[in-house]
Amino acid sequence: MKNQLQKLSVFLFFPILLSCLLSCEALPVNYSSGQSWLISKPDETDKTRTTLTILSVHVDKSGGWDSVEKETAALAPLYFWDSGCMVVAAEREPSYAAQIQIREREYNSGWKTKKSLAVEVRIWEYKDIPETTGAFFAQKLPAATGRIVASGDESFSSSETTGRLLSKAIDKAVKELFAYERKKDA
């Protein structure tokens, strides 16, 4: 009897251990992720970069949205820098102004609840910014927009997911912005 009980406990131990390691709350021991930025010209005399200001960051997510909003507001200038733009204060009258909208929705797929994540970056010429900057949807169409949508089990609660999607959306918007500038100058 004792031998059978030992076999049963060993048999049950490994599936339980495996499920704990693979659950969404457990991270592998060697898990890490990081990024760094070198801002080569932090002074305001850098004329090689397109300047813009960030009007607002809005997160539409149930629970914990304020930390996602703060993280997005802190990371956005760095991702804009990576894409060739420099975020400056509105008082400097930059060339462009951007708004960032993040949405997380849950939906049912069969018996599972999945998430739809969307990051949208809209960029207007500074002279054309919407009169009500708090309203994300304005009558004047933006000069450029970048949008990324992902669906699955991930959430904006993960900084890695937020950073990856924000970076891609900003990159898409800035590429369109540079195409807009070339077309405008032609």
Write out the two tokens for 102.
Answer: 């993040």
**116: in domain:** yes
**4: in domain:** no
**11: in domain:** no
Structural domain span for residue 135: 49-185
Contact (CB, 8 A) for 153 and 24: yes
pLDDT value, residue 42: 53
State the helix-helix crossing angle for 159-185 and 65-82, rounded to 10 degrees: 40
CATH label of the domain that carries residue 124:
3.30.160
pLDDT value, residue 161: 84
**Overall domain count for the chain:** 1
**35: in domain:** no
pLDDT value, residue 29: 46
Residues of the chain with pLDDT under 50: 22-30
**60: in domain:** yes
CA 100/CA 138 separation, integer angstroms: 13
Burial class (CB in 10 A: 0-12, 13-18, 19+), 127: exposed
**87: in domain:** yes
pLDDT value, residue 60: 77
pLDDT value, residue 35: 63
**36: in domain:** no
- For tokens 């997380």, the residue is 104
CA 170/CA 43 separation, integer angstroms: 22
From first CA to last CA, the distance across the chain in angstroms is 87
pLDDT value, residue 46: 59
pLDDT value, residue 153: 84
pLDDT value, residue 68: 84
**25: in domain:** no
